[in-house]
Structure 1
Protein backbone atom coordinates (compact mmCIF):
# COMPACT_ATOMS: atom_id res chain seq x y z
CA UNK A 1 0.00 0.00 0.00
CA UNK A 2 1.23 3.50 -0.85
CA UNK A 3 1.32 5.90 2.10
CA UNK A 4 1.99 9.62 2.08
CA UNK A 5 3.65 11.88 4.61
CA UNK A 6 1.95 14.88 6.18
CA UNK A 7 4.09 17.19 4.00
CA UNK A 8 2.94 15.42 0.85
CA UNK A 9 -0.69 15.68 1.92
CA UNK A 10 -0.22 19.38 2.66
CA UNK A 11 1.21 19.95 -0.83
CA UNK A 12 -1.78 18.13 -2.33
CA UNK A 13 -4.25 20.22 -0.32
CA UNK A 14 -2.53 23.45 -1.31
CA UNK A 15 -2.64 22.43 -4.98
CA UNK A 16 -6.38 21.80 -4.69
CA UNK A 17 -7.18 25.27 -3.36
CA UNK A 18 -9.27 27.24 -5.85
CA UNK A 19 -7.56 30.20 -7.54
CA UNK A 20 -8.43 33.75 -6.56
CA UNK A 21 -7.55 36.73 -4.44
CA UNK A 22 -9.31 35.20 -1.43
CA UNK A 23 -6.30 32.93 -0.95
CA UNK A 24 -3.74 35.71 -0.78
CA UNK A 25 -2.70 35.67 -4.42
CA UNK A 26 -1.16 32.20 -4.26
CA UNK A 27 0.36 32.51 -0.76
CA UNK A 28 -1.25 30.46 2.00
CA UNK A 29 -2.11 32.52 5.06
CA UNK A 30 -0.84 31.37 8.47
CA UNK A 31 -4.37 30.52 9.61
CA UNK A 32 -5.16 28.46 6.51
CA UNK A 33 -1.69 26.89 6.67
CA UNK A 34 -2.31 25.72 10.23
CA UNK A 35 -5.64 24.22 9.17
CA UNK A 36 -4.02 22.35 6.26
CA UNK A 37 -1.20 21.15 8.53
CA UNK A 38 -3.77 19.68 10.92
CA UNK A 39 -5.62 17.90 8.14
CA UNK A 40 -2.36 16.63 6.64
CA UNK A 41 -1.16 15.16 9.93
CA UNK A 42 -4.51 13.37 10.36
CA UNK A 43 -4.44 12.01 6.81
CA UNK A 44 -0.94 10.65 7.44
CA UNK A 45 -2.13 9.01 10.68
CA UNK A 46 -5.08 7.43 8.88
CA UNK A 47 -2.77 6.09 6.17
CA UNK A 48 -0.59 4.43 8.79
CA UNK A 49 -3.60 2.94 10.58
CA UNK A 50 -4.97 1.50 7.35
CA UNK A 51 -1.58 -0.06 6.68
CA UNK A 52 -1.55 -1.52 10.20
CA UNK A 53 -5.05 -2.86 9.68
CA UNK A 54 -3.72 -4.88 6.75
CA UNK A 55 -1.62 -6.83 9.27
CA UNK A 56 -4.75 -7.77 11.22
CA UNK A 57 -6.39 -9.72 8.37
CA UNK A 58 -3.81 -12.50 8.78
CA UNK A 59 -3.68 -14.39 12.10
CA UNK A 60 0.10 -14.77 11.70
CA UNK A 61 0.56 -11.01 12.08
CA UNK A 62 -2.61 -9.98 13.95
CA UNK A 63 -2.13 -8.15 17.22
CA UNK A 64 -5.00 -5.77 17.90
CA UNK A 65 -7.61 -8.14 16.44
CA UNK A 66 -6.02 -11.36 17.71
CA UNK A 67 -8.73 -11.66 20.36
CA UNK A 68 -11.37 -11.46 17.63
CA UNK A 69 -9.61 -14.21 15.66
CA UNK A 70 -9.57 -16.40 18.76
CA UNK A 71 -13.23 -15.74 19.53
CA UNK A 72 -14.32 -16.54 15.96
CA UNK A 73 -12.18 -19.70 15.86
CA UNK A 74 -13.33 -20.87 19.30
CA UNK A 75 -9.91 -20.63 20.91
CA UNK A 76 -8.72 -21.78 23.31
CA UNK A 77 -10.61 -25.02 22.73
CA UNK A 78 -10.51 -28.28 24.70
CA UNK A 79 -7.55 -29.49 22.64
CA UNK A 80 -5.58 -26.25 22.63
CA UNK A 81 -4.31 -24.85 25.87
CA UNK A 82 -4.43 -21.08 26.22
CA UNK A 83 -1.15 -19.80 24.79
CA UNK A 84 0.75 -17.33 26.95
CA UNK A 85 2.65 -15.49 24.21
CA UNK A 86 1.48 -13.48 21.22
CA UNK A 87 3.37 -15.74 18.79
CA UNK A 88 1.87 -18.83 20.42
CA UNK A 89 -1.64 -17.41 20.10
CA UNK A 90 -1.00 -16.46 16.47
CA UNK A 91 0.26 -19.98 15.70
CA UNK A 92 -2.77 -21.60 17.34
CA UNK A 93 -5.14 -19.35 15.37
CA UNK A 94 -3.38 -20.09 12.09
CA UNK A 95 -3.32 -23.84 12.76
CA UNK A 96 -7.06 -23.93 13.41
CA UNK A 97 -7.93 -21.60 10.52
CA UNK A 98 -5.76 -23.26 7.89
CA UNK A 99 -6.23 -26.90 8.92
CA UNK A 100 -7.08 -29.04 5.93
CA UNK A 101 -8.02 -32.44 7.28
CA UNK A 102 -6.82 -35.69 5.79
CA UNK A 103 -6.82 -39.40 6.52
CA UNK A 104 -3.26 -40.38 5.69
CA UNK A 105 -0.49 -41.14 8.17
CA UNK A 106 1.43 -38.19 6.69
CA UNK A 107 -1.42 -35.82 7.64
CA UNK A 108 -1.44 -36.94 11.28
CA UNK A 109 2.35 -36.85 11.45
CA UNK A 110 2.33 -33.24 10.22
CA UNK A 111 -0.53 -32.33 12.57
CA UNK A 112 1.46 -33.66 15.53
CA UNK A 113 4.57 -31.81 14.35
CA UNK A 114 2.59 -28.55 14.23
CA UNK A 115 2.37 -28.63 18.04
CA UNK A 116 5.88 -29.96 18.58
CA UNK A 117 5.47 -33.74 18.72
CA UNK A 118 7.31 -36.37 16.73
CA UNK A 119 5.17 -39.43 16.09
CA UNK A 120 5.14 -42.64 14.10
CA UNK A 121 1.81 -43.94 12.81
CA UNK A 122 1.23 -47.71 12.82
CA UNK A 123 -1.65 -49.31 10.96
CA UNK A 124 -2.73 -52.82 11.88
CA UNK A 125 -2.59 -54.20 8.38
CA UNK A 126 -0.53 -57.30 7.55
CA UNK A 127 0.63 -55.64 4.33
CA UNK A 128 1.61 -52.34 5.98
CA UNK A 129 2.84 -52.74 9.53
CA UNK A 130 4.68 -55.14 11.76
CA UNK A 131 2.75 -56.25 14.82
CA UNK A 132 2.83 -58.74 17.63
CA UNK A 133 2.40 -62.34 16.43
CA UNK A 134 -0.38 -62.91 18.98
CA UNK A 135 -2.57 -60.51 16.97
CA UNK A 136 -2.17 -62.36 13.67
CA UNK A 137 -5.61 -63.97 13.72
CA UNK A 138 -7.42 -60.77 14.72
CA UNK A 139 -5.59 -58.52 12.27
CA UNK A 140 -5.62 -61.01 9.43
CA UNK A 141 -9.35 -61.46 9.97
CA UNK A 142 -9.99 -57.73 9.74
CA UNK A 143 -10.97 -57.18 13.37
CA UNK A 144 -8.42 -54.37 13.70
CA UNK A 145 -9.03 -52.84 10.28
CA UNK A 146 -10.12 -49.48 11.75
CA UNK A 147 -7.62 -49.30 14.61
CA UNK A 148 -4.37 -47.38 14.34
CA UNK A 149 -1.63 -46.54 16.80
CA UNK A 150 0.31 -43.33 17.37
CA UNK A 151 3.74 -43.83 18.88
CA UNK A 152 4.77 -40.55 20.50
CA UNK A 153 8.56 -40.27 20.45
CA UNK A 154 9.11 -37.06 22.39
CA UNK A 155 6.38 -36.80 25.00
CA UNK A 156 8.75 -35.81 27.80
CA UNK A 157 9.18 -37.43 31.20
CA UNK A 158 6.23 -39.22 32.71
CA UNK A 159 5.34 -42.36 34.63
CA UNK A 160 2.45 -44.80 34.40
CA UNK A 161 0.39 -45.93 37.36
CA UNK A 162 1.45 -49.45 38.32
CA UNK A 163 -0.09 -52.35 40.22
CA UNK A 164 0.31 -51.70 43.92
CA UNK A 165 0.18 -47.90 43.66
CA UNK A 166 -1.99 -46.14 46.21
CA UNK A 167 -5.65 -45.52 45.44
CA UNK A 168 -6.08 -42.17 43.71
CA UNK A 169 -2.74 -42.30 41.86
CA UNK A 170 -3.07 -40.67 38.44
CA UNK A 171 -2.88 -43.10 35.52
CA UNK A 172 -0.29 -40.88 33.84
CA UNK A 173 1.87 -38.38 35.67
CA UNK A 174 4.13 -35.89 33.91
CA UNK A 175 4.39 -34.38 30.44
CA UNK A 176 2.48 -36.97 28.42
CA UNK A 177 1.05 -35.66 25.16
CA UNK A 178 -2.51 -35.19 26.39
CA UNK A 179 -3.06 -32.16 24.15
CA UNK A 180 -1.83 -34.21 21.17
CA UNK A 181 -4.19 -37.05 22.07
CA UNK A 182 -7.11 -34.62 22.23
CA UNK A 183 -6.16 -33.06 18.89
CA UNK A 184 -5.83 -36.39 17.08
CA UNK A 185 -9.04 -37.75 18.59
CA UNK A 186 -10.83 -34.67 17.26
CA UNK A 187 -9.26 -35.00 13.79
CA UNK A 188 -9.52 -38.76 13.27
CA UNK A 189 -12.23 -40.34 11.11
CA UNK A 190 -15.22 -41.07 13.32
CA UNK A 191 -15.30 -44.79 12.50
CA UNK A 192 -11.70 -45.40 13.58
CA UNK A 193 -10.08 -46.04 16.94
CA UNK A 194 -6.72 -44.48 17.74
CA UNK A 195 -4.50 -45.71 20.55
CA UNK A 196 -1.36 -44.01 21.82
CA UNK A 197 1.90 -45.51 22.95
CA UNK A 198 4.93 -43.92 24.57
CA UNK A 199 8.45 -45.33 24.62
CA UNK A 200 9.58 -46.60 27.97
CA UNK A 201 12.03 -44.20 29.63
Structure 2
Protein backbone atom coordinates (compact mmCIF):
# COMPACT_ATOMS: atom_id res chain seq x y z
CA UNK A 1 0.00 0.00 0.00
CA UNK A 2 1.05 3.68 0.17
CA UNK A 3 1.14 4.28 3.93
CA UNK A 4 3.14 7.29 5.20
CA UNK A 5 4.64 6.59 8.66
CA UNK A 6 4.17 10.21 9.70
CA UNK A 7 0.72 11.08 8.34
CA UNK A 8 -2.68 9.66 7.56
CA UNK A 9 -2.42 8.70 3.91
CA UNK A 10 -5.51 9.55 1.87
CA UNK A 11 -5.83 8.43 -1.76
CA UNK A 12 -8.73 9.63 -3.89
CA UNK A 13 -7.40 9.43 -7.47
CA UNK A 14 -7.60 6.24 -9.50
CA UNK A 15 -4.63 4.84 -11.33
CA UNK A 16 -4.56 4.74 -15.11
CA UNK A 17 -6.37 1.70 -16.39
CA UNK A 18 -5.42 -0.46 -19.37
CA UNK A 19 -5.47 1.34 -22.69
CA UNK A 20 -8.42 -0.03 -24.62
CA UNK A 21 -8.66 0.26 -28.38
CA UNK A 22 -12.04 0.02 -30.04
CA UNK A 23 -11.92 -2.72 -32.67
CA UNK A 24 -14.84 -3.28 -35.01
CA UNK A 25 -16.18 -6.81 -35.09
CA UNK A 26 -15.26 -8.68 -38.30
CA UNK A 27 -18.04 -8.83 -40.84
CA UNK A 28 -18.45 -9.73 -44.52
CA UNK A 29 -21.13 -10.86 -46.92
CA UNK A 30 -21.14 -14.41 -45.57
CA UNK A 31 -21.57 -13.40 -41.91
CA UNK A 32 -25.37 -13.59 -42.19
CA UNK A 33 -26.13 -14.36 -45.83
CA UNK A 34 -29.54 -14.59 -47.46
CA UNK A 35 -30.49 -16.99 -50.23
CA UNK A 36 -30.04 -14.25 -52.84
CA UNK A 37 -26.42 -13.81 -51.73
CA UNK A 38 -25.64 -17.49 -52.40
CA UNK A 39 -27.70 -18.33 -55.48
CA UNK A 40 -25.21 -17.03 -58.07
CA UNK A 41 -22.33 -19.02 -56.60
CA UNK A 42 -24.57 -22.07 -56.24
CA UNK A 43 -25.70 -22.03 -59.88
CA UNK A 44 -22.10 -21.80 -61.07
CA UNK A 45 -21.46 -25.26 -59.58
CA UNK A 46 -23.80 -26.97 -62.06
CA UNK A 47 -22.44 -28.27 -65.40
CA UNK A 48 -22.67 -25.88 -68.35
CA UNK A 49 -24.71 -26.54 -71.48
CA UNK A 50 -28.19 -26.38 -73.07
CA UNK A 51 -29.44 -29.28 -70.96
CA UNK A 52 -28.67 -27.24 -67.85
CA UNK A 53 -30.21 -24.02 -69.02
CA UNK A 54 -26.92 -22.35 -69.91
CA UNK A 55 -26.35 -22.69 -73.68
CA UNK A 56 -23.19 -21.04 -74.96
CA UNK A 57 -22.15 -20.12 -71.42
CA UNK A 58 -25.22 -18.04 -70.65
CA UNK A 59 -26.27 -17.52 -67.05
CA UNK A 60 -29.02 -19.78 -65.74
CA UNK A 61 -32.37 -18.05 -65.49
CA UNK A 62 -33.18 -17.36 -61.81
CA UNK A 63 -36.83 -18.21 -62.44
CA UNK A 64 -36.04 -21.67 -63.86
CA UNK A 65 -36.83 -24.89 -62.05
CA UNK A 66 -33.12 -25.61 -61.66
CA UNK A 67 -32.60 -22.25 -59.94
CA UNK A 68 -35.52 -22.91 -57.60
CA UNK A 69 -34.13 -26.36 -56.80
CA UNK A 70 -30.73 -24.80 -56.13
CA UNK A 71 -32.29 -22.34 -53.69
CA UNK A 72 -33.70 -25.26 -51.73
CA UNK A 73 -30.26 -26.89 -51.58
CA UNK A 74 -28.70 -23.61 -50.40
CA UNK A 75 -31.16 -22.97 -47.58
CA UNK A 76 -29.20 -24.95 -44.94
CA UNK A 77 -26.05 -22.99 -45.81
CA UNK A 78 -27.74 -19.74 -44.78
CA UNK A 79 -28.04 -21.15 -41.26
CA UNK A 80 -24.57 -22.75 -41.39
CA UNK A 81 -22.74 -19.53 -42.34
CA UNK A 82 -24.67 -17.52 -39.76
CA UNK A 83 -23.92 -19.99 -36.96
CA UNK A 84 -20.26 -20.30 -37.95
CA UNK A 85 -19.90 -16.50 -37.79
CA UNK A 86 -21.62 -16.41 -34.39
CA UNK A 87 -19.25 -19.12 -33.14
CA UNK A 88 -16.22 -17.14 -34.32
CA UNK A 89 -17.42 -14.09 -32.36
CA UNK A 90 -17.75 -16.20 -29.21
CA UNK A 91 -13.96 -16.64 -29.19
CA UNK A 92 -13.62 -13.04 -27.91
CA UNK A 93 -15.12 -11.49 -24.79
CA UNK A 94 -16.37 -8.63 -27.00
CA UNK A 95 -18.68 -11.00 -28.85
CA UNK A 96 -19.58 -13.46 -26.11
CA UNK A 97 -23.27 -14.32 -25.82
CA UNK A 98 -24.34 -17.96 -26.00
CA UNK A 99 -21.10 -19.26 -24.47
CA UNK A 100 -21.24 -16.86 -21.51
CA UNK A 101 -21.70 -19.71 -18.95
CA UNK A 102 -18.59 -21.46 -20.33
CA UNK A 103 -16.57 -18.21 -20.14
CA UNK A 104 -17.74 -17.67 -16.55
CA UNK A 105 -16.73 -21.21 -15.60
CA UNK A 106 -13.22 -20.62 -16.99
CA UNK A 107 -12.78 -17.38 -14.98
CA UNK A 108 -14.47 -18.49 -11.77
CA UNK A 109 -17.60 -16.37 -12.19
CA UNK A 110 -19.97 -15.49 -10.72
CA UNK A 111 -17.87 -15.05 -7.57
CA UNK A 112 -19.09 -15.35 -4.00
CA UNK A 113 -19.43 -11.55 -3.74
CA UNK A 114 -22.55 -11.72 -5.90
CA UNK A 115 -25.60 -12.99 -4.03
CA UNK A 116 -28.48 -11.49 -6.02
CA UNK A 117 -29.59 -12.28 -9.56
CA UNK A 118 -27.74 -10.28 -12.21
CA UNK A 119 -28.60 -9.35 -15.77
CA UNK A 120 -26.69 -10.64 -18.79
CA UNK A 121 -25.18 -7.17 -19.30
CA UNK A 122 -23.88 -7.15 -15.71
CA UNK A 123 -22.43 -10.64 -16.13
CA UNK A 124 -20.63 -9.65 -19.33
CA UNK A 125 -19.29 -6.49 -17.65
CA UNK A 126 -17.94 -8.58 -14.77
CA UNK A 127 -16.36 -10.99 -17.26
CA UNK A 128 -14.66 -8.13 -19.13
CA UNK A 129 -13.28 -6.79 -15.85
CA UNK A 130 -11.88 -10.24 -15.01
CA UNK A 131 -10.36 -10.81 -18.46
CA UNK A 132 -8.77 -7.34 -18.56
CA UNK A 133 -7.70 -7.37 -14.90
CA UNK A 134 -4.25 -6.11 -13.92
CA UNK A 135 -2.21 -6.31 -10.73
CA UNK A 136 -3.89 -4.40 -7.90
CA UNK A 137 -1.35 -3.17 -5.34
CA UNK A 138 -1.53 0.60 -4.82
CA UNK A 139 -4.61 2.30 -3.29
CA UNK A 140 -5.20 4.09 -6.59
CA UNK A 141 -5.55 0.65 -8.20
CA UNK A 142 -8.33 -0.24 -5.77
CA UNK A 143 -10.06 3.06 -6.57
CA UNK A 144 -9.94 2.14 -10.25
CA UNK A 145 -11.43 -1.29 -9.50
CA UNK A 146 -14.23 0.28 -7.46
CA UNK A 147 -14.96 2.72 -10.29
CA UNK A 148 -15.36 -0.23 -12.67
CA UNK A 149 -18.20 -1.46 -10.43
CA UNK A 150 -19.81 1.98 -10.25
CA UNK A 151 -18.43 3.21 -6.90
CA UNK A 152 -16.54 6.40 -6.12
CA UNK A 153 -14.33 5.82 -3.10
CA UNK A 154 -11.52 7.32 -1.07
CA UNK A 155 -8.96 5.22 0.79
CA UNK A 156 -7.39 6.32 4.06
CA UNK A 157 -4.49 4.56 5.78
CA UNK A 158 -4.14 5.68 9.38
CA UNK A 159 -0.97 6.19 11.37
CA UNK A 160 -0.79 4.91 14.96
CA UNK A 161 0.68 7.01 17.80
CA UNK A 162 4.33 6.20 18.57
CA UNK A 163 6.14 7.39 21.68
CA UNK A 164 9.14 9.55 20.85
CA UNK A 165 7.82 10.20 17.36
CA UNK A 166 4.17 11.27 17.45
CA UNK A 167 2.92 14.60 18.72
CA UNK A 168 0.26 14.93 21.41
CA UNK A 169 -2.76 16.57 19.85
CA UNK A 170 -1.63 15.52 16.39
CA UNK A 171 -3.50 13.33 13.95
CA UNK A 172 -1.92 10.07 15.09
CA UNK A 173 -4.41 7.80 16.83
CA UNK A 174 -3.71 5.65 19.84
CA UNK A 175 -3.98 1.91 19.46
CA UNK A 176 -2.08 -1.28 18.84
CA UNK A 177 0.42 -1.38 16.00
CA UNK A 178 -1.65 -4.15 14.42
CA UNK A 179 -4.34 -1.59 13.65
CA UNK A 180 -2.19 -0.31 10.79
CA UNK A 181 -3.16 -3.43 8.89
CA UNK A 182 -6.60 -1.84 8.38
CA UNK A 183 -7.35 0.71 5.69
CA UNK A 184 -10.58 2.65 5.52
CA UNK A 185 -12.73 2.79 2.40
CA UNK A 186 -15.03 5.82 2.24
CA UNK A 187 -17.80 5.40 -0.33
CA UNK A 188 -19.54 8.46 -1.78
CA UNK A 189 -23.33 8.49 -1.45
CA UNK A 190 -23.13 5.55 0.92
CA UNK A 191 -26.51 4.33 2.12
CA UNK A 192 -26.48 2.92 5.66
CA UNK A 193 -29.43 0.95 6.97
CA UNK A 194 -29.46 1.01 10.78
CA UNK A 195 -31.20 -1.34 13.19
CA UNK A 196 -34.42 0.23 14.47
CA UNK A 197 -35.93 -0.63 17.83
CA UNK A 198 -39.45 -1.95 17.40
CA UNK A 199 -38.80 -2.82 13.75
CA UNK A 200 -35.61 -4.88 13.75
CA UNK A 201 -35.33 -8.44 15.08
CA UNK A 202 -32.57 -9.18 17.59
CA UNK A 203 -30.33 -12.03 16.50
CA UNK A 204 -31.46 -11.66 12.89
CA UNK A 205 -31.13 -8.04 11.72
CA UNK A 206 -27.69 -6.42 11.74
CA UNK A 207 -26.99 -3.28 13.78
CA UNK A 208 -26.24 -1.57 10.49
CA UNK A 209 -25.79 -2.53 6.87
CA UNK A 210 -23.92 -0.77 4.08
CA UNK A 211 -26.22 -2.13 1.38
CA UNK A 212 -24.66 -2.50 -2.07
CA UNK A 213 -21.30 -1.34 -0.69
CA UNK A 214 -21.03 -4.70 1.10
CA UNK A 215 -20.44 -6.28 -2.30
CA UNK A 216 -17.67 -3.76 -3.00
CA UNK A 217 -16.05 -4.60 0.35
CA UNK A 218 -16.11 -8.29 -0.57
CA UNK A 219 -14.37 -7.53 -3.87
CA UNK A 220 -11.72 -5.32 -2.26
CA UNK A 221 -10.98 -7.88 0.47
CA UNK A 222 -10.49 -10.55 -2.16
CA UNK A 223 -7.92 -8.37 -3.96
CA UNK A 224 -6.25 -6.75 -0.93
CA UNK A 225 -2.72 -7.78 0.10
CA UNK A 226 -2.84 -10.64 2.61
CA UNK A 227 -1.45 -8.51 5.46
CA UNK A 228 -4.15 -5.82 5.12
CA UNK A 229 -7.88 -5.68 5.72
CA UNK A 230 -10.14 -3.02 4.14
CA UNK A 231 -13.09 -1.76 6.20
CA UNK A 232 -15.97 0.50 5.22
CA UNK A 233 -16.23 3.95 6.78
CA UNK A 234 -18.93 6.58 6.25
CA UNK A 235 -17.95 9.38 3.84
CA UNK A 236 -16.41 12.54 5.26
CA UNK A 237 -18.93 15.29 6.00
CA UNK A 238 -18.65 18.08 3.46
CA UNK A 239 -18.60 21.70 4.59
CA UNK A 240 -19.49 24.24 1.91
CA UNK A 241 -17.51 27.48 1.76
CA UNK A 242 -19.76 30.54 1.78
CA UNK A 243 -19.42 34.29 1.89
CA UNK A 244 -20.55 36.47 4.78
CA UNK A 245 -23.89 36.80 3.02
CA UNK A 246 -24.33 33.04 2.86
CA UNK A 247 -23.61 32.68 -0.87
CA UNK A 248 -21.75 29.58 -1.96
CA UNK A 249 -18.26 30.03 -3.37
CA UNK A 250 -17.60 28.01 -6.51
CA UNK A 251 -14.90 27.27 -9.03
CA UNK A 252 -14.85 28.32 -12.68
CA UNK A 253 -17.50 25.68 -13.44
CA UNK A 254 -19.73 27.06 -10.65
CA UNK A 255 -19.24 23.89 -8.60
CA UNK A 256 -19.51 24.76 -4.88
CA UNK A 257 -16.18 24.60 -3.02
CA UNK A 258 -16.11 22.22 -0.08
CA UNK A 259 -13.70 21.20 2.67
CA UNK A 260 -13.64 18.06 4.75
TM-score tier (shorter): 0.7 to 0.9
Superposition deviation, residue 176 in structure 1 = 5.4
Structure 2 unaligned runs (5+)? 1-26, 161-169, 238-260
Q: Which residue of 1 aligns with 2:154?
A: 120
Q: Given the alignment of the two structures, is residue 17 of structure 1 paired with residue 46 of structure 2, yes or no?
A: yes
Task: Choose the corresponding residue for 1:148, options 175, 178, 183.
Answer: 183
Superposition deviation, residue 8 in structure 1 = 3.1
Bigger shift: 182-191 or 34-43? Answer: 34-43
Instruction: For residue 150 of structure 1, give the secondary structure of its aligned residue in structure 2.
Output: strand
Does the CA contact (< 8 Å) of 1:161 and 1:172 recur in 2?
no
Does the CA contact (< 8 Å) of 1:3 and 1:44 recur in 2?
no
RMSD of aligned residue pairs (Cα, Å): 3.3
* Map 1:36-55 → 2, pairs under 5 A: 36-55=70-89
Find the aligned partners of 1:166 and 1:14 in 2 and give their Cα distance.
77
Bigger shift: 90-99 or 107-116? Answer: 90-99
Find the aligned partners of 1:176 and 1:157 in 2 and give their Cα distance.
10
Instruction: For residue 94 of structure 1, give the secondary structure of its aligned residue in structure 2.
Output: helix
Instruction: For residue 209 of structure 2, give the secondary structure of its aligned residue in structure 1.
Output: strand
Q: How many equivalent pairs are there?
A: 191
Does the CA contact (< 8 Å) of 2:156 and 2:183 recur in 1?
yes
Q: TM-score, normalised by structure 1?
A: 0.75
Large movers: runs of 4+ above 4 Å:
27-31, 143-146
Bigger shift: 11-20 or 115-124? Answer: 11-20
Distance 1:160 1:132, change over 3 A: farther
Structure 1 unaligned runs (5+)? none
Find the aligned partners of 2:93 and 2:142 in 1 and give their Cα distance.
23
Q: C-alpha deviations, 1:146-197, integer Å up to 9, x for none? A: 44221222332322699xx984251323625111111011001112232221
Q: Greater RCO between the two (CA within 8 Å, min separation 6)?
A: 2
Does the CA contact (< 8 Å) of 1:117 and 1:155 recur in 2?
no
Distance 1:171 1:24, change over 3 A: same
Distance 1:106 1:55, change over 3 A: same
Does the CA contact (< 8 Å) of 1:153 and 1:199 recur in 2?
yes
Q: Which has the higher helix share?
A: 1
Q: Given the alignment of the two structures, is residue 157 of structure 1 paired with residue 183 of structure 2, yes or no?
A: no
